[in-house]
Chains A and B, each alone.
Chain A
């Protein structure tokens, strides 16, 4: 029995598939592929699959992870091809590899946030944003059902870059993403909206997770 990690993408319309839906999709795709994986024991056996932390609904990603235990001794490339052939559009298996780093070594996630708005952005806007994220602290109000808390999000951002791409703003940031604390990259946008007047009410942003990183900001593989 071999524990392997499946690296996959979730893009296009597949970004609207919820995490639970995704688990079901994988379960059935693997079943159709004929690749045999370990099931749980007990009264109600189901396939044993471990996913990385869930991606927010509506976000795309090229760096998603799922771990399974293969029962047969098969070439991992064949496993990748067989499962990939059963995936719906928008979910693509990039690799099936043996496990080196454990899931608990995941520390950060790198996101690319693309923003468009009714007015064009300027170099000054880029400067303001970079400035906002290179200060001592950056507090935002985090609202939950029961309370409101202020939170300094700067310590949770390990990398930050902002650039103009034609009429769009592109922010690349590595945010905390682990079992201790995770920062939803949406808060970056909220901070910009609250602390500057760069964004109008009608801005439109897309989120793409481009990499999963360990605590040293190296690629998590």
Chain B
């Protein structure tokens, strides 16, 4: 009887803690001189759905002598059992405590996972702060979208990996291993890492503040620290590493299917969207490379579904060619293709006939705003006519459930814009009945229109990084008004919790002074902040107050264009000048065309020596 068995018998869904899944990698410790643990700061079911984790797990395990394992947040019951039995958090493959590793990598997908990072460190018996870690502690590395404003969590990480991990993460780990072999101290190792492009070591910098709380300036503390950290990108996606195997989980996870990453970047330029800016310049994978990757993945996993993943898959220039090539063997092997997202302006039956052949569930589209004026302000170039046409095609195609995603609290928004969301719901409903009258389809079970409205959160590196988030009071007023304006049983309106949105807005554009706030909130019980049943808004507010900071300063304050922002020291390719131009255009509700229509000169192409696929 081993200790873990005793724990596993008394927790829910023990299969998520046993490891040993098909395609998980087990190496002989005697052959390994460097151990990495990829720590996903959420539970197994969420982490195992994440493509980035699969890619990095695979690419690091390709390196001779290196072994990469996985760590996830335990669910509450397991966490309690670990604590009751004085068992430290362990990695799934070896079962070893995370202190046994040379490096821990955290992918920061959302600000609401920050306290989970601290929880993993604490459960693993690793000092929360970089400065408290001794020579024998693993290096704690952060990456992912939130790493592009790393400042609120700067004190918990030894370094950040800013850029695409396929090439730079192996380089970083090889460098750390080299330093370990040479017997360099922790400090000297950090200095060597700071010399690498795209690596940010927060402890080598100091930030000074003005009396009004804005940033006065930054100083480097060692000569190895660069003034600007430039995001690293992979130039040739077709030649780039892609896993030929995915770990196949035993238990149900959020996304359990083969995934093909089709291209990086987005040409639409929606002004609220951080990912669209962060992953520029546009780079596509060739159809041939994708087909080969697909064949390998299916043969090693046995998955029956494959999704074509990217920020806007239907914008891939050779989409039909790709889908037809995949279907030539997928159909007879009973493998269905799916697209994770669809656009209102290029939806067609030609597309749907090739993917999502099983007409189950609903279709989701994202008009994002209720009025044309508002959609122009955010540069979501979608018209009401396009929405009506698209929904008509969907109804004809047999989908009678339509989900529409919106945001409220957008910059320069009026109540009329918000009420427009309800009106659009009715417009779609009208279109449904029109189609029946015109004989295009029959009622067959009725229609279901779901309006899902999130609260807008301004993010770094977007044209909206200077605006204020709408206040919680205004957001509540708008939610109530909107809900009150929709009376049809066929239209449902759903909201996201505005408290979580306020906190996300605080952390997203936060500065270094928030790090003690996060630590205090965690120590007072905050974790799993993304989960409604765990989120403790009052504890967060208390933590802010305790450290003399206000949520209004971070979330609601409008910044001047010349204010020094906490993330200004990072160069993601897209220039600040471009973001300012877009911000000014948004004030006039002026739109910017898709990059493929005309290059807007965002500047990201410089990262690829002037290349961007959209430039043609």
Contact = CB atoms under 8 A, between A and B. Distances in A.
Partners in one complex: yes
Interface string A42-60: 0111100000000001100
A135 to B, nearest CB: 31
B301 A32 contact: yes
Contact of A29 (B6, B14, B22, B360): B22
B248 A16 contact: no
A204 B250 contact: no
Contact of B13 (A18, A30, A45): A18
B302 interface: yes
A70 B360 CA distance: 28
A84 interface: no
B6 A204 contact: yes
Contacts of A18: 13, 15, 251
Nearest to B303: A28
A88 to B, nearest CB: 5
B334 A28 contact: no
Contact of A28 (B17, B251, B302): B302
B9 to A, nearest CB: 5
B20 A88 contact: yes
Contacts of A31: 302-304
A21 B15 CA distance: 9
B304 A16 contact: no
B346 interface: no
Contacts of B9: 58
Contacts of A95: none
Interface string A1-35: 00000000000010011101100110111111000
A89 B20 CA distance: 7
Which of B301, B303, B304 is the most central at the interface, judged by chain A CB atoms within 10 Å of its CB?
A: B304
Nearest to A204: B1
B18 interface: yes
Contact of B304 (A21, A27, A90, A116): A27
A31 B298 CA distance: 9
A25 to B, nearest CB: 6
A88 B21 contact: yes
Interface in A89-130: 89-90, 116
A88 B22 contact: yes
A151 B13 CA distance: 30
Nearest to B4: A13
Interface in B1-59: 1, 6, 8-9, 13-15, 17-22
B299 interface: yes
A203 to B, nearest CB: 11
Contact of B334 (A16, A39, A57, A206): A39
Contacts of A204: 1, 6
B1 A25 contact: no
A47 to B, nearest CB: 8
A interface, how many residues as a size bin? 20 to 34
Which of B19, B248, B360 is the most central at the interface, judged by chain A CB atoms within 10 Å of its CB?
A: B248
A118 to B, nearest CB: 12
A28 B17 CA distance: 20
A43 B358 contact: yes
Nearest to A16: B14
A46 B305 CA distance: 12
B18 A16 contact: yes
A25 B20 contact: no
Interface residues of B, number: 27
A86 B302 contact: yes
B524 interface: no
A16 B360 contact: no
B360 A44 contact: yes
Nearest to A26: B302
A39 B334 CA distance: 9
B26 to A, nearest CB: 9
Given A16-B15, A39-B334, A88-B20, A21 B251 contact: yes
B550 interface: no
Given A28-B22, A32-B299, A90-B20, A17 B15 contact: yes
A24 B17 CA distance: 18
Contacts of B20: 13, 88-90
A209 B216 CA distance: 71
A71 B304 CA distance: 18
A87 B600 CA distance: 52
B228 interface: no
B13 A32 contact: no
Nearest to A28: B302
B250 A21 contact: yes
Contacts of B185: none
B327 to A, nearest CB: 16
B15 A29 contact: no
A82 B344 CA distance: 46
B301 A28 contact: yes
Contacts of A28: 22, 248, 301-304
Given A28-B248, A28-B303, A29-B302, A86 B334 contact: no
Interface of B: 1, 6, 8-9, 13-15, 17-22, 248, 250-252, 299-304, 334, 358-360
A-B complex: 9 closest residue pairs judged by Cβ atoms: A28-B302, A31-B302, A32-B302, A16-B14, A13-B18, A21-B250, A17-B250, A88-B22, A16-B15
Interface of A: 13, 16-18, 20-21, 24-25, 27-32, 39, 43-46, 57-58, 86, 88-90, 116, 204, 206
23 contacts: A16-B14, A18-B13, A18-B15, A25-B248, A27-B304, A28-B248, A28-B301, A28-B303, A30-B302, A31-B302, A31-B304, A32-B299, A32-B301, A43-B359, A44-B360, A58-B9, A58-B14, A86-B22, A88-B250, A89-B20, A90-B20, A204-B6, A206-B1
Given A16-B14, A28-B301, A44-B360, 15 more contacts: A17-B15, A17-B250, A24-B252, A25-B248, A28-B248, A28-B302, A31-B304, A43-B359, A58-B8, A58-B14, A88-B21, A88-B22, A88-B250, A89-B20, A204-B1
